[in-house]
Amino acid sequence: MKTLEIKPLKDKKLNVLIIEKEYNEPFWLVEPRSALPQEKLRLVHKPSIAFCTYIEGLIKRVKPDFATEELGMRSSKEFYEKNDLAEIFQRNKVPFFPVDIDERARAYLEAGLDEKRRLRDEMLEALEKLSKGETEDEEAKIKREYLTAYIQSLQQEYEEDLNEIYFPIRERWIVMGILDRAREVSGKEKITCLHICSPEHVEGVKNLLESLNVNVEVVKVSKKIVSPHLDKSISEELSDFLQSMRIQVKPVIVKPSSMVPPLLFFLDTDPRASSFDICMAYDAGYSAVIPYENVTSEDAEKIVQDALFSRGPKGAKVTCFFIGGKNMEKAEEVFETVKNAMFPPFLAPIIIDPGGAYTTAAAMVAKVENALTTHKLGNLSDKACAIFGTGPVGRTAAILLSRLGCDVVIVSTNPNRPDGEQYIDRVAKSLLKRYGASVGGVYAPRREDRMQVLKKADLVFCAAAPGVRIIEKGMLEELKLMKVMVDINAVPPLGIEGMKLEDDMREIAPGIFGVGPIAVGKLKHKLEIEILKEAIRNGRGIYDYNAALQLARKLLERKLAPADLSFTLSYPTRRKGS
């Protein structure tokens, strides 16, 4: 038996022109049930005069080195002697070959299917006998239900195997046949093949060939019948109808739906571009990510316009600009320049996520909002919120919570800050002036200072530096009212003592519910991927912390996973004495 082994061509460049034929070449491992319409359709399972005329003209123009077609259910003799295309290629001295599953391989595959079909049919007979019983007690009913489920499983497996053979496996044999014939062409580096292909296999064969570095073009022949008798019954006027009929033939070059690959230009204000965000962009489906480092607002305009002008208005829709960097102010300056560098029709999507702060803060806020709703703990807008940490994540969370109507304080806990009171006052004023966020500022370097903040807060967000303990277990025990606490610090020790990485509304102390770094991190990861995908789907738009929060909410709304709906049914055991 011939082995299915596809190897790329060496030292040859193959061009394949796939011509989509007018029907699917009959092929089956299990013969379909015959019906009258199907019998009549067999009369037209042949290339039309219009198709043959087109192929003859194409041969003269393209001058192919060889041509191929699926063999289907025909014998080799029928393929060459009862095939109008074979006659055309022979007349034009173009080698013409059938390509399809090897006969012995096909017999082997049929045997495997026969065994599965035999088992299914045996079970069907058993089910039929059960169903014919005069009386049906509870045990017989259960037997019938479980046997039905087993038969359905067998049928599904059988159909999946059949589909696998009809498409992926058969298409690999077809492609291998084309490549094998190309290897036989001697004395030429560039080879051209015409492949006559069933419509249902065009996409699969094309993709396989392209994956093997073959240049592929697809042509579909469009026909239109023109006749003054077209809308009339022709049973008594067939001769008149045929004499008046004209066939208009027009080849259509089938092009991919998206000729322009999606690109992401990563503008990082840091000395080293974030490998995290680069990997995320590739995982989201971008064809390439082009990183720029140490980007300033002066650099950004030229980078953006060079990229957009080179891709044109259509290409701009699949060109995304991602602004990163740990410095929030610098990133926002670059963002403003990028936004202002665009104008119709050169508009592209823009993502800004400085050091992951926007997606992390959005995930943190959305997670708590969802937890409050799920556990019936009231509305987020009614809560007093304390944010420990004045970095980009803490500031972004403060902006979002303030805009949602919360009473917010942002807290600096660094005991080594000599101007702590003045510093936190500047932070609060900056948030108000720049973002319109009304936020209180508290400097709390000591335990007793932090306790005062905790007692007043309903929700606590710990976004301080990694590896710094902010809230000790003893502090939690002193709190009397119920609270929800979130910690995004995954580096030991965690910011909140008693919190575990995977916590998701676990009661970490009496009346204190915790959301850990991994629970937030999972949502942040999904959120960034979704933003990257949506930017290309929409082809324009700005994706900042506001957009991130909206998308995070949507992700939590469709949180239900297949695992949540999974269960196992077991056949009930018989009770003793029954």
Q: Mean pLDDT of successive 10-residue segments in the chain (578 residues)?
A: 78 93 86 52 74 91 96 92 95 97 88 89 88 73 87 90 90 95 93 96 94 90 64 57 59 62 96 95 95 95 96 94 96 97 95 97 97 93 96 97 97 93 96 95 95 96 93 93 94 94 94 96 97 94 97 82 57 58
The set of residues, in sequence order, having a beta carbon less than 8 Å from that of 466 and lying 6+ positions away, is 489, 490, 491
Q: What is the C-alpha to C-alpha distance for residues 246 and 224, in angstroms, rounded to an integer?
A: 8
Tokens of 568: 């196992």
484 CB neighbour count, 10 Å cutoff: 22
Q: What is the C-alpha to C-alpha distance for residues 142 and 339, in angstroms, rounded to an integer?
A: 66
Q: What is the dihedral of CA 190, 192, 198, 204, to 10 degrees?
A: 10
Give the start-end residues of each E strand in 374-462. Answer: 384-388, 407-412, 440-443, 459-462
Query: Regarding beta strands 190-197 and 13-20, do their DSSP bridges make them parallel or antiparallel, or are they unpaired?
Result: parallel
Run of H or E residues at 302: helix 297-316
Q: Are 442 and 417 in contact (CB under 8 A)?
A: no
Nearest to 150 by CA among 127, 132, 118, 131: 127
The set of residues, in sequence order, having a beta carbon less than 8 Å from that of 270 and lying 6+ positions away, is 293, 294, 324, 325, 326, 327
Q: What pLDDT does 251 receive?
A: 64
Q: What is the C-alpha to C-alpha distance for residues 97 and 111, in angstroms, rounded to an integer?
A: 27
Q: DSSP label at 165?
A: I
List every span in the chain annotated with CATH 3.40.50.720: 365-523
List every span in the chain annotated with CATH 3.40.50.10280: 258-352
In this prediction the pTM is 0.64
Q: DSSP label at 565?
A: G
Region 365-523: CATH code: 3.40.50.720
The angle formed by the CA atoms of residues 244, 245 and 246, to the nearest 5 degrees, is 125
Buried b (16+ CB within 10 A) or exposed e, 87-122: ebbeeeebebbbbbbbeebbeebeeeeeebbeebee
Instruction: DSSP for 447-505, please give it.
Output: HHHHHHHHHH-SEEEE--STT---B-HHHHHH--S-EEEEE---SSSPSBTT--TT-EE
Q: Are 60 and 89 in contact (CB under 8 A)?
A: no
Q: What is the C-alpha to C-alpha distance for residues 508 and 513, in angstroms, rounded to an integer?
A: 6
Q: Are 206 and 18 in contact (CB under 8 A)?
A: yes
Region 258-352: CATH code: 3.40.50.10280
Phi/psi zone of residue 572: left (φ > 0), alpha (ψ -120 to 50 degrees), beta? beta
- Main-chain phi, psi angles of 265, to 5 degrees: -95, 115
Q: What is the C-alpha to C-alpha distance for residues 451 and 471, in angstroms, rounded to an integer?
A: 9
Nearest to 365 by CA among 331, 323, 414, 399: 399
Q: How many helices (H) and strands (E) does the chain have?
A: 19, 18
Q: DSSP label at 32?
A: P
Query: Regarding beta strands 504-509 and 512-515, do their DSSP bridges make them parallel or antiparallel, or are they unpaired?
Result: antiparallel
